[in-house]
Amino acid sequence: MTFNAKPIVSARQRQVQFDFSMLSLPILRRCALSHCRYSVPATTPICLDFLVPSTSKHGQCRQASTTASTSGAFKPLYVLSKEQREFMDSALRVNQAGELAATLIYKAQTPQIVRSYPHLRPLMKHMYDQEAGHLKTFNHLIAKHQIRPTAMYPAWEVAATFLGWSTAALGREAAMACTEAVETEIGSHYNDQVREILSWEADAKRRGEELDEELKEMLATFRRIRDEELEHLDHAVANDSKEAKPYDPLVDVIRLGCRTAIKISEKI
């Protein structure tokens, strides 16, 4: 199985006029929302190739492992439990919703920020482009595996747009404090997902089994996106996020909102 995530677009030179490539966002949003209209019955199991237990496939792997035991070239595949499959279902649903919110926050912040601080134009575009790439990745995974997106899309769209606009209106420091708060929670959330999959990998090794290649690729994708989110956090701190007034109440409220949105999107 292959994973077709495209490489992340880097920031262009400062001299290049910001062409507001954010206009590609409606395309991404229409793609995401088209998946929302795809209705999957609640009783339908998750259609992830590497998650659905297959007796014949698993048996073939075991047979191959037995016949090649002398060389150790083959191992049986680790088959996820129902609870583990449900974890992956909610993880992909939450990640898609979170990346949509991130693109909307940056889109709402950027016009006000770059008007007052032109030197931040390349940074804002760089962070937006990375978030748009993340959203494209999860749109692809949601569609490929027929996972139901969150039903909270309309609410998250309004909330994210308002959060981006309002923090930018408060100034550069408040906008960066927003980024710090959001990326702190999102980075922690991706970390939890990475740890969970690593625990499955350790369990597979104890059994003499191995994870499916697609699940390994998904683990690598989660790690890469987590690191890019934490890079955004570092950029925010470097641009005086902690100078926002009032810093603590602003960051605490945003972090609480992120945690609440994550919990809701996991279930709904």
* Tokens describing residue 231: 């890079």
Is 126 marked as binding a ligand? no
Mapping DSSP onto H, E and C, the string for 66-111 reads: HHCCCCCCCCCECCCCHHHHHHHHHHHHHHHHHHHHHHHHHHHHHH
- The radius of gyration computed from the CA coordinates of the chain, to the nearest angstrom, equals 21
* Tokens describing residue 67: 């016949």
Is 213 marked as binding a ligand? no
Q: Say which residues have a Cβ less than 8 Å from residue 69's Cβ, sequence separation at least 6.
A: none
Is 229 marked as binding a ligand? yes
The residue among 41, 75, 38, 37 whose CA lies nearest residue 58 is 75
CA distances from 13 to 10, 22, 122 (A): 10, 17, 7
Is 228 marked as binding a ligand? no
CB neighbours (10 Å) of residue 72?
9
What residues form the annotated binding site?
99, 131, 134, 183, 229, 232
Residue list, annotated binding site for Fe cation: 99, 131, 134, 183, 229, 232
